Structure 1
Amino acid sequence: MSNHPWPTPATIAYGGDYNPEQWPREVWDEDVVLMREAGVTMVSVGIFSWGLLEPEEGVFDFAWLDELLDLLHANGIAVDLGTPTASPPAWFFATYPHALAVDKHGVVQGFGSRGMASHSAPEYRRAAARIAGELARRYGQHPAVVMWHVHNEYGVPVGEDFSPNAVAAWRVWLQERYGSLDALNAAWGTAFWGQRYGRWEHVVAPAATPTTVNPAMKLDWARFTDDQLRACFRAERDAIRAHADQPVTTNFMAHQSWNTDLWAWAQEVDIVSDDHYLWSPDPDAHVALALSADLTRSVARGRPWILMEHSTSAVNWQGRNIAKRPGEMHRNALTHVGRGADGIMFFQWRASRSGAEKFHSAMVPHAGPTSRIFREVASLGARLGAIGELQDTRVRAQVAVLYDWESLWAQDLEWRPSDALQFRERMRAYYERLWRDGVQVDFAHPGDDLSGYRLVVAPASYLLTAAQGENLTRYVAGGGTLLVSCFAAVVDEHDAVHHGGFGAPLREALGLTVEEFLPMREGESCAVELDGRTLTADVWAEDLAVDGAQVRGTYSGGPADGAPAVTRHEHGDGVGWYVSTRLDVAALAPVLAAVYDDAGIAPSSAPEGVELMTRHGETADYVVAVNHRDDAVTVPLEGTELLSGTDVTGVLTLPAGEVAVVRSTPGGGR
């Protein structure tokens, strides 16, 4: 049985955000004609229309939306109906000025942008739930509406809020979490710097202070912020469910937004959706795209998901907004499909003439429907229409990469041993090595059951609880291969160094103790001698005391000259590897090669720069092949190429920058 909200079976949903309220009525008729031409099957509507839907408090005007939904339905276009609560109208803030968000310096955030509202303000939550409920009451049975889209990109641009509403909610949250001030003081280590609290009303938010704020307090503040955002989502979702039974989602920003724990969020939505935008300064932004797609599928626990937003070409909010070259949009979209997406959507359908995003690309750009962009949009629609049978198939992986937002929050706090050793950088480096080796990965939480994976990689597990350490140790003892990067298992859930010192929860699995961190000065580097090769390392080294582990790599030069750098430890039926320094993507290659041998994993033989992604169905497998190179390549494949309808008899020739989707019998992919 399909998990999908859209009614047409064997269809990859295709479309984008549609904001017809920005255009005269006659443009709507042109739009639906162009949508049919482009193969659009679903659009997101109403996401920023609160001021039109409720022009005065408690006064609703649905006439234009009635007409729009009827028009879309008559033209066979389904609707993902949004709640407009990411941008409350002017009347709301004029009536409830204390519902505006406040930054850490105490500055009230003014009207005229988006976001702006304090997620802890009772008036905001009531108004948001009211408009969501009224929309569901009116459109819950409308045949066009197949899904509900709550809010927009929670935490962007307003996540943290230091308003009086937030501080009051923070105190309540802390009382529920800790129960007593003694427990709070112990968790936060308030004996340090004389920060002990004797009354709940004295507990403040971690706003701007003369020097760094208590890190345990800031870690809890990140949790609180995430919980407040999620409570707002639940309030709207529940208001919708009182009148409608279609699936409810909200658009995540996997690996691009830091203040939402998507493992928790994914449990609240009916279908996971994500927004992804290329980061222009990154020459290999397609690798970050793959990371985001794999992470989104993983928080969905392997179920198909929707790419709710990406761009046809340039965005508008980066320092240099680089346009996509011909074919790049197709590669981006079909990479998401290859990594589990069953819906491909854009922001937005028609480019805005006014406002802050008028330079953001769109499906119908300012150049109009005769443009190259629109031709590629229509071509992509046809391609997605040809591969509908991929819907509801699954991606499988033998490797899990550990990803924990709480560890991200903690590692990125102030006063770490080196601010050059960052969560996202290590996550990208290890992921990219796996990507370049053609190894399909899932992401996993360190508390998950990992027994189904041959290899678990922990690129950035600075915060690792004792229970999570026990989980990873059991995984190794049970026959798994674990690869841990430096600065791991340092602190517990309160950002306190573990009893027993750095890395204590993994000492048994790794067979070593980290005695001291040895960060390097800017520009310094050292070498690591590993299996006859000399690897360059920088930023970070550690002084290791080996207790059973085999030394596989040794420092040459730098602060740990002659000491162990890379180790391998047999524990139970498995193996624990540790890399105590920062190696770049190229230097990680020989390390991963040795780790693959232990795990019994064979890297792909595909040419460098070619992605081969397999989705598995009950009767067929599907290989999505993407060529990021400037030259043609050949790939050993057998089956039917769905985009062209041609047979592939052993070898697929893939032109420069092109994509293919090959159906084969199970096990006949790659």
Structure 2
Amino acid sequence: MTSTRLTRLLSGPDGDSTPRLGYGADYNPEQWPREVWEEDVRLMREAGVTVVSVGIFSWARIQPAPDAWDFAWLDEVMDLLHQGGIGVDLATATASPPPWLTTAHPEILPVTATGETLWPGGRQHWRPTSPVFREYALRLVRTMAGRYAGHPALVAWHVSNELGCHNVYDYSDDAARAFRDWLRARYTTLDALNHAWGTAFWSQRYSDWEQILPPRLAASYPNPTQQLDFKRFSSDALKEYLRAERDVLREITPDVPVTTNFMVMGGTKGMNYPDWADEIDFVSNDHYVHPGPQDRDELSFSANLTSGIAGGRPWFLMEHSTSAVNWQPVNVAKRPGDLARDSLLHVAHGADAVCFFQWRQSAAGAEKYHSAMVPHVGEDSDLFRAVVALGDTLKTLAPVAGSEREAAPVGIVFDWESWWASEQDSHPTSLLDYRQEALDWYSALLALGVRADVVTTRTDLDRYQVLIAPVLHVVPADLAKELARYAENGGHLVTTYFSGIVDENDHIWLGGYPGALRDLLGIRIEEFGPLLAGDTVELDDATTGSLWTDRITVTDPETDVLAAYRTGVHAGRPAVTRRSTGSGSAAYVSTRLGTEGLTALLLRLLAPAGVESELPAPARGLVELTVRGGPGGRFLFLVNRTDRTVPLPGLAGEVLVGATGADGSPVLHPRDVAVLRQPTA
């Protein structure tokens, strides 16, 4: 993403390039009668809205028949928004094909692993590899781009919507053909594929490309490398579709930035977003809170990871909710203060625009109980007043726009291929949760008041004094060398159980676990020791482990035992180790300790690097600190993680947002956020 392209998105309606943060929502005027539209623009201006996404699910309205087009309503909406000073992030409207298309061409519909067709009636009922769908979709994209290329309201293009949310895995004949083409490009020869897939096992050797299928429903466990490659292919197929739309848009409107909304949240793992990030002009993300004990930690983690995917540069929060959603088992409304805190936590982690789904709460359809900026009750509501207040806050924070994330002392590595591979079938345990393990480490650092960045393996690892790589299961030889170099040169690596086990082909690194990291860690493990659900082991540092244990043998005199098992079959043997190497170290944690156990352990793991909290003592564990920096200053975001008032003595800086105490220091009220500006060093 280039800063100039994001500037176009966030500039004023007259082209004013003064920095500002974007604010808005998905806007769906086609759901409402004409008389509502002018009222919408009036309320948008009152709320401080600067940008809206339009046309996301409008294909059937724009193109009611194969050779019929209806742009009159959209022309009018675009004109009204421009007159109101509101920019339009215009969607290509390809997210859900209209009934006439699926009736004429049912062959575009996705097929499940069990052979069932996903029929119309919901959304995203299309195959990413369907040439028929692509023909019709790109015709729509080209027509829209040609029509609105010069419209003054157009500030960005929004490709499709949440690509892969419902159709990432398609097992149709179209997908099978495309999968074979993808495999030919990856492996070139059948011999290379047979080696990578280990097809000598279970008589799976292929003698012709046409014999290869997606991993459809099988009599037993499908080939594990076939499964992993199908995940890679499925992400790539959607990426190729994204490129196809993007290329049409760039051909016709080269000066208009192009984005698509990622879903870095919860269990959305089918799309390898770090691999997609370079395909668009700026990263956008959707996020929704899942109620639970780590709900705001997860929000922070996801926003942080989005920043990591964006390379630390500003990004666009395309969707989140003002209050309740409609798709969880129980849809809990947000408490007072949550709307602002959730929004500003995204800004703290690099969002230069804050948008919601959606502007006006729907009266019909599957999402009619999903909250919006204007609720069913209307503008005379606490929720809309909170929306207006947030708009005012974002205006105050205009100097933050364009600033980038300042590197934290700790990096947490999040690796999509390890996520995919570590949770496949036929493993030592089916209870492993890759994302949860990473989140536990993040929550433990929050509990200590220590800043951390969530990064990918593409990041410059040398930026971090401590690098935590939980369940880094897939470790190609080049990555193993890079981690060893990092530690030798003074970095402090921490990794965990089930790390370093396989290469990029999902083949075991032989000679003992943890495989590719064995020599770096100075330990050797002969056999895994997964624990049954509910079973635990005690460590001699008073922490409790679950899920996993390892029978560790120390193989290097430079390896120290930081904690040992006190109970269980490995009682008396190492549980946590650290090996000195060069001017750094490499540590190994062989069991799942959870947030509480990791909080205790981290004090010892951070000590060699000299990393500690930058927060005043009363705020540690209660407040999250993130930092953005740029020409406008160094911006400290302080987010109250609690329902109590927290003083922040000794923190210097101009208070842009937040309250101050009698001594002039910032004070955080329950669920509050303060933003301080310090001079750039």
What range describes the TM-score normalised by the shorter chain of this pair?
A: over 0.9
SS at match of 1:565: strand
Work out the CA distance in 2 between the residues paired with 1:50 and 1:501. 56
**1:370 alignment partner in structure 2:** 380
Greater shift after overlay, 582-591 or 287-296? 582-591
2:570 to 551, 560, 583: 560
**1:56 alignment partner in structure 2:** 65
Work out the CA distance in 1 between the residues paired with 2:664 and 2:561. 43
Aligned residues: 663
1:127-171 residue CA offsets vs partner (Å, 9 max, x unmatched) = 221111111111121110101100111111111001111111111
Matching of residues 340-489 of structure 1 within 5 Å = 340-396=350-406, 397-446=408-457, 448-489=459-500
1:152-202 residue CA offsets vs partner (Å, 9 max, x unmatched) = 111111110011111111111111111111111110001111111111111
1:615 to 597, 615, 628: 628
SS at match of 1:337: helix
Deviation at 1:412, TM superposition (A): 1.2
**2:321 alignment partner in structure 1:** 311
2:10 to 6, 13, 25: 6
1:156 to 165, 168, 171: 165
1:653 and 2:663 matched: no
Work out the CA distance in 2 between the residues paired with 1:645 and 1:522. 47
Contact 1:447 1:467 in 2 (8 A): no
Deviation at 1:614, TM superposition (A): 1.8
The residue type equivalent to 1:639 in the other structure is G
Deviation at 1:116, TM superposition (A): 0.9
1:333 and 2:343 matched: yes
Work out the CA distance in 1 between the residues paired with 2:631 and 2:412. 26
Deviation at 1:79, TM superposition (A): 0.5
1:666 and 2:680 matched: yes
2:655 to 636, 641, 659: 641
2:513 to 502, 513, 534: 502
Matching of residues 536-615 of structure 1 within 5 Å = 536-548=544-556, 549-603=559-613, 604=615, 605=617, 606-615=619-628
1:535 to 527, 531, 543: 543
TM-score by length of 2: 0.95
SS at match of 2:49: coil
SS at match of 1:513: strand
Contact 2:473 2:500 in 1 (8 A): yes
The residue type equivalent to 2:216 in the other structure is A
1:231 and 2:240 matched: yes
Deviation at 1:284, TM superposition (A): 2.7
Q: Structure 1: 5+ residue runs without aligned partners?
A: none
Work out the CA distance in 1 between the residues paired with 2:93 and 2:315. 22
1:180 and 2:189 matched: yes
Contact 2:301 2:454 in 1 (8 A): no
The residue type equivalent to 1:213 in the other structure is P
The residue type equivalent to 1:51 in the other structure is A
Contact 2:659 2:667 in 1 (8 A): no
Deviation at 1:610, TM superposition (A): 1.6
1:460-516 residue CA offsets vs partner (Å, 9 max, x unmatched) = 211111111111001001110000011101111111111333222112321111221
1:241 and 2:253 matched: no
1:603-630 residue CA offsets vs partner (Å, 9 max, x unmatched) = 2432433222221223522122222322
- TM-align CA RMSD: 1.5
**1:193 alignment partner in structure 2:** 202
Do the aligned partners of residues 154 and 140 (structure 1) sit closer, same or farther apart at CA in structure 2, a change above 3 Å counting?
same
Work out the CA distance in 1 between the residues paired with 2:134 and 2:452. 39
Contact 2:311 2:459 in 1 (8 A): no
TM-score by length of 1: 0.97
Work out the CA distance in 1 between the residues paired with 2:474 and 2:467. 17
Contact 1:446 1:471 in 2 (8 A): no
Contact 2:658 2:672 in 1 (8 A): no
Fraction of identical pairs, as percent: 43
SS at match of 1:235: helix
Work out the CA distance in 2 between the residues paired with 1:205 and 1:631. 53
Deviation at 1:649, TM superposition (A): 5.9
SS at match of 1:660: strand
SS at match of 1:625: strand
**1:624 alignment partner in structure 2:** 637
Work out the CA distance in 2 between the residues paired with 1:117 and 1:526. 48
Work out the CA distance in 2 between the residues paired with 1:125 and 1:317. 29
SS at match of 2:539: strand
Do the aligned partners of residues 348 and 639 (structure 1) sit closer, same or farther apart at CA in structure 2, a change above 3 Å counting?
same
**2:15 alignment partner in structure 1:** none
SS at match of 2:596: coil
The residue type equivalent to 1:539 in the other structure is L
SS at match of 1:624: strand
1:577-636 residue CA offsets vs partner (Å, 9 max, x unmatched) = 110111011111232111111112112432433222221223522122222322211013
Work out the CA distance in 1 between the residues paired with 2:533 and 2:659. 55
Contact 1:641 1:648 in 2 (8 A): no
The residue type equivalent to 1:458 in the other structure is A
Contact 1:447 1:471 in 2 (8 A): no
Do the aligned partners of residues 644 and 537 (structure 1) sit closer, same or farther apart at CA in structure 2, a change above 3 Å counting?
closer
Contact 1:159 1:259 in 2 (8 A): yes
Work out the CA distance in 2 between the residues paired with 1:156 and 1:471. 34
Work out the CA distance in 2 between the residues paired with 1:516 and 1:127. 54
Deviation at 1:447, TM superposition (A): 5.0
Work out the CA distance in 2 between the residues paired with 1:279 and 1:181. 45
1:275 to 286, 298, 303: 286
1:287 and 2:297 matched: yes
Work out the CA distance in 2 between the residues paired with 1:314 and 1:391. 28
Q: Structure 2: 5+ residue runs without aligned partners?
A: 13-17
Work out the CA distance in 1 between the residues paired with 2:335 and 2:66. 46
The residue type equivalent to 2:107 in the other structure is H
1:44-70 residue CA offsets vs partner (Å, 9 max, x unmatched) = 000000011111124322111111000
**1:36 alignment partner in structure 2:** 45
1:95 and 2:108 matched: no
Work out the CA distance in 2 between the residues paired with 1:596 and 1:645. 32
Deviation at 1:437, TM superposition (A): 1.9
Deviation at 1:404, TM superposition (A): 1.1
Work out the CA distance in 2 between the residues paired with 1:360 and 1:98. 32
SS at match of 1:267: helix
Do the aligned partners of residues 447 and 144 (structure 1) sit closer, same or farther apart at CA in structure 2, a change above 3 Å counting?
closer
Contact 2:60 2:98 in 1 (8 A): yes
Work out the CA distance in 1 between the residues paired with 2:364 and 2:459. 47
Contact 1:520 1:559 in 2 (8 A): no
The residue type equivalent to 1:196 in the other structure is R
